[in-house]
Structure 1
Amino acid sequence: MTVKIPVPTLRAFAQQVLRRSGLADADAATAAEVVLYADVHGFTTHGTNAMAGIYAPRLLDGRINAAARLRTVSETVSGAVLDGDRGLGLVSTVAATDLAIAKARETGVAVVAVRNSSHFGSAGYYAHRATEAGMIGIAMTNCGAQGVAPPLGGTTRMLGTNPLAAAAPAPGGAPFVLDMSATTVATGKIRAAQREGRAVPRGWLTAPDGTSVTSPDAFFAGDADVTWLGGPAATGGAKGYGLAILVDLLCGPLAGASWGPTPDLLVDGEERPDTDIGHTVLVIDPVALGAGARFGAGARELLDTLAADRPAVPGGTVTYPGAPEALRAAESLRDGVALPDHVVAQLVPLADRLAIEAPAEFAAVAVPA
């Protein structure tokens, strides 16, 4: 079941939660927009769900530095490395994205990396932010030293889900926005299935012997691992695995942040926290590179042509990454954001803890005492 919450109501609530969790007003407003983007576009696991389960608790107990001061480690005309001071990844990556946009206007292409950061929410937000400036955006993050998935054919969890997003402007319609993890699915969706008491689809999880597993409990018990995008090696798992390595290289060694595959993990096998996370944002300005309006017009034609293809199944639709999410966003803005009951059930006690009045719509959900 879901509850519909007007976007302004949810935005105001998110800002209150983040302020009461220790963020300055400006940072709370920035972070709330990243949170709202996820819920509005249908990425429920990365919106207020993450605010309740990750951001607010870690800000309150100090694992995320609410008073972080972003610092420039190094800088060139076309790039920079920033130190997030253990701050909220949502705030530091917005700053990194805006800096990359400003530099790309001058140089055509710019890369900004962040170290010493934390969970940054929906990767698509940052790539999409670049399209609002008329630019192409690519954003990615590792999971710091935390291991979520073993290398292809291995047994030790070393790499994160390592999400990445890419977006391109296409005036006159929905932009192209690809937001994906290097694994078949983000672990937040496995957690959501566990909370809702349902099995996960075959192909999400696999046992050490290669058997497909549908119980989400098996993942959290360490009895099954999330699969790489493409599945086993025979069906293209090396593609997802390779993408995960690429993200760790660009967000770990390049940014100066932690990364998962370190030799000590092979010795002690200890589970490690997702701290000192790294993010990298790349922005391309078509105007600065001489493409001008040609790029936008070409992108629109390309995407519209794909969507105009005859559906393989009568009554079906053909679309592209970014278009369904744009429709979902329009629906959310018109009718309210659909929040699952299990998310609301986390937000109500959080509001009580912070002495914040929860939205009236939350009263429709029965919250366990």
Structure 2
Amino acid sequence: MNFITFTEAKLRSFTYSIFKKMGCSHEHATLATDVLIRSDLRGIDSHGVARLSGYVRLWEKKRINATPNIKVVYETPTTATVDGDGGLGLVVAPFAMKVAIEKAEKFGSGWVAVKNSNHFGIAGYHALLAVEKDMIGISMTNASPLVAPTYANERLLGTNPMCYAFPAGKYPPVVVDMATAAAANGKLEIAQRANKEIPDGWVQDNEGNSSTNPNELKNGGSLLPLGSDKDHGSHKGYGLSATVDILSAVLSGANYGPWVPPFVAFLEPNANPVGEGIGHFFGAMRVDGFRPADDFKNHLDNWIERFKSAKTINPSQKVIIPGEPEAEAEVERKVNGIPIIDVVVNDLNELAIKLGVEGLS
């Protein structure tokens, strides 16, 4: 497995050119590019430019609308439902979070459900938009059914990530960004490219047996909920995933459970959908609706320092604050560039030839 390092500017230019070839406006291409590059900067390689080919294939299948009319279709002073018009989730999600933030600025909090959208990148990107305004940001989405509920051997839920982001003072924000499955599907894809086994407890085969094969989903297997099995708390991951599905889709009018359309283009959406597209859910809460923002941030700094000073089992280890590795990666990669695995680089160069844009190398 080899990596090729690119500057942030190079990857931005390349990614923007792909979205423009799809027919996106300058504004939408710029925004979609920012979401993907932020993922690569933060070290979440599975959701960055490696996803570009997937978006293009869905667009070619007419399952992504490059010129959506994104609009609010229902609202109260503090809540809203947004129709993404089949657009890129990378564009629809920031629109919806902006609505939540605007409502929070006026009324203290804002809550927005989204239907008729697509894959929205990393949940952290959208939650951090609220942090920039001294707000607590909440972001979640349902996803293609790849996860079997506790005791089941049937894919009914997605990896259904959720993110909570909190503004700190002198430290980076605390960002709890996680899939509600034992592992995100992107981690299986990384293992496939590296030809490596995955840890026990991530997936089960089509008979319900634990497997370390990263290709198990292609063989009819399924991902497991966070916790892996009942003895290790999988009912908790199942419950979290169900919460994301209900808030994102049952509430908004999007597809839920096994009806969520697949991210891969070679699989067709369910012929009898129960809603429209993929669903998201966003929240923004003004910190100063609870106490002065500076007081909160000073105490969150104190919280961070106390947890960082915790006695560890192994002296060579340290307690990691949620979001800390991603913040450190972002600082390092902005200076030294973004490493992309050669398999992905080859895929992107083939995509460039196909669409007639300048490749990465």
User: Quick check: TM above 0.5?
Assistant: yes
Whether the aligned pair in 1 keeps the contact of 2:134 and 2:293 (CA below 8 Å) is no
Is 1:220 equivalent to 2:182 in the alignment?
Answer: no
**CA–CA separation in structure 1 for the residues paired with 2:235 and 2:80:** 31
Is 1:96 equivalent to 2:96 in the alignment?
Answer: yes
**CA–CA separation in structure 2 for the residues paired with 1:208 and 1:48:** 31
Alignment of 1:2-13 (within 5 A): 2-13=3-14
Partner of 2:245: 248
* C-alpha distance after superposition, 1:54-102 (max 9, x if no partner): 2122223421000111021111111110100011011010011111111
Whether the aligned pair in 1 keeps the contact of 2:153 and 2:207 (CA below 8 Å) is no
Deviating beyond 3 angstroms after TM superposition, the runs of 4 or more aligned structure 1 residues are: 207-211, 270-275, 288-291
Question: Which shifted more, 201-210 or 35-44?
Answer: 201-210
Deviation at 1:202, TM superposition (A): 1.3
Aligned residue identity for 1:107: F
Is 1:181 equivalent to 2:179 in the alignment?
Answer: yes
Question: Which shifted more, 82-91 or 204-213?
Answer: 204-213
Partner of 1:230: 227
Identity %: 35
Whether the aligned pair in 1 keeps the contact of 2:114 and 2:249 (CA below 8 Å) is no
Partner of 1:348: 349
Please point out which of 191, 194, 197 is paired with 1:193: 191
Whether the aligned pair in 2 keeps the contact of 1:311 and 1:317 (CA below 8 Å) is yes
Secondary structure at the counterpart of residue 216 of structure 1: coil
**CA–CA separation in structure 1 for the residues paired with 2:15 and 2:33:** 6
Aligned residue identity for 2:158: G
**CA–CA separation in structure 2 for the residues paired with 1:86 and 1:196:** 33
Whether the aligned pair in 2 keeps the contact of 1:65 and 1:87 (CA below 8 Å) is yes
Partner of 2:132: 132
Partner of 1:366: none
Aligned residue identity for 1:108: G
Deviation at 1:315, TM superposition (A): 2.2
Deviation at 1:226, TM superposition (A): 1.1
Secondary structure at the counterpart of residue 257 of structure 2: coil
* C-alpha distance after superposition, 1:138-164 (max 9, x if no partner): 100012xx4212221112211111111
**CA–CA separation in structure 2 for the residues paired with 1:151 and 1:212:** 14
Quickly say closer, same or farther: Cα 1:202–1:279, change in 2 above 3 A: same
Is 1:315 equivalent to 2:316 in the alignment?
Answer: yes
**CA–CA separation in structure 2 for the residues paired with 1:157 and 1:97:** 29
Deviation at 1:271, TM superposition (A): 7.5
Deviation at 1:272, TM superposition (A): 4.1
Question: Which shifted more, 54-63 or 12-21?
Answer: 54-63
Secondary structure at the counterpart of residue 82 of structure 2: strand
Deviation at 1:305, TM superposition (A): 1.4
Whether the aligned pair in 2 keeps the contact of 1:105 and 1:288 (CA below 8 Å) is no
Deviation at 1:312, TM superposition (A): 2.2
Whether the aligned pair in 2 keeps the contact of 1:107 and 1:288 (CA below 8 Å) is no
Partner of 2:331: 330
**CA–CA separation in structure 1 for the residues paired with 2:268 and 2:312:** 46
Aligned residue identity for 2:324: A
**CA–CA separation in structure 2 for the residues paired with 1:165 and 1:197:** 30
Is 1:207 equivalent to 2:205 in the alignment?
Answer: yes
Partner of 1:19: 20
Whether the aligned pair in 1 keeps the contact of 2:153 and 2:208 (CA below 8 Å) is no
Partner of 1:81: 81
Partner of 2:67: 67
Deviation at 1:208, TM superposition (A): 5.7
Secondary structure at the counterpart of residue 169 of structure 2: coil
Normalized against structure 2, the TM-score is what? 0.92
* C-alpha distance after superposition, 1:290-309 (max 9, x if no partner): 43311111111111211122
Whether the aligned pair in 1 keeps the contact of 2:84 and 2:114 (CA below 8 Å) is yes
**CA–CA separation in structure 2 for the residues paired with 1:218 and 1:231:** 15
Alignment of 1:283-298 (within 5 A): 283-298=284-299
Deviation at 1:21, TM superposition (A): 1.4
Partner of 2:118: 118
Question: Which shifted more, 284-293 or 74-83?
Answer: 284-293
Secondary structure at the counterpart of residue 157 of structure 1: coil
Alignment of 1:163-178 (within 5 A): 163-178=161-176
Deviation at 1:250, TM superposition (A): 0.3
**CA–CA separation in structure 2 for the residues paired with 1:358 and 1:311:** 47
Whether the aligned pair in 2 keeps the contact of 1:4 and 1:339 (CA below 8 Å) is yes
* C-alpha distance after superposition, 1:248-293 (max 9, x if no partner): 100111111110157xxxxxxx974597000010111112334331
Whether the aligned pair in 2 keeps the contact of 1:206 and 1:225 (CA below 8 Å) is yes
Deviation at 1:310, TM superposition (A): 3.1
**CA–CA separation in structure 1 for the residues paired with 2:229 and 2:208:** 8
What is the aligned-residue RMSD (CA, Å)? 1.8
Whether the aligned pair in 1 keeps the contact of 2:204 and 2:216 (CA below 8 Å) is no
Is 1:257 equivalent to 2:258 in the alignment?
Answer: no
Is 1:155 equivalent to 2:184 in the alignment?
Answer: no
Question: Which shifted more, 273-282 or 8-17?
Answer: 273-282
Partner of 1:48: 49
Secondary structure at the counterpart of residue 252 of structure 1: helix
Whether the aligned pair in 2 keeps the contact of 1:22 and 1:60 (CA below 8 Å) is no
Normalized against structure 1, the TM-score is what? 0.90
Query: Unmatched 5+ residue regions in structure 2?
Result: 260-266
Partner of 1:365: none
Partner of 1:267: none
Secondary structure at the counterpart of residue 152 of structure 1: coil
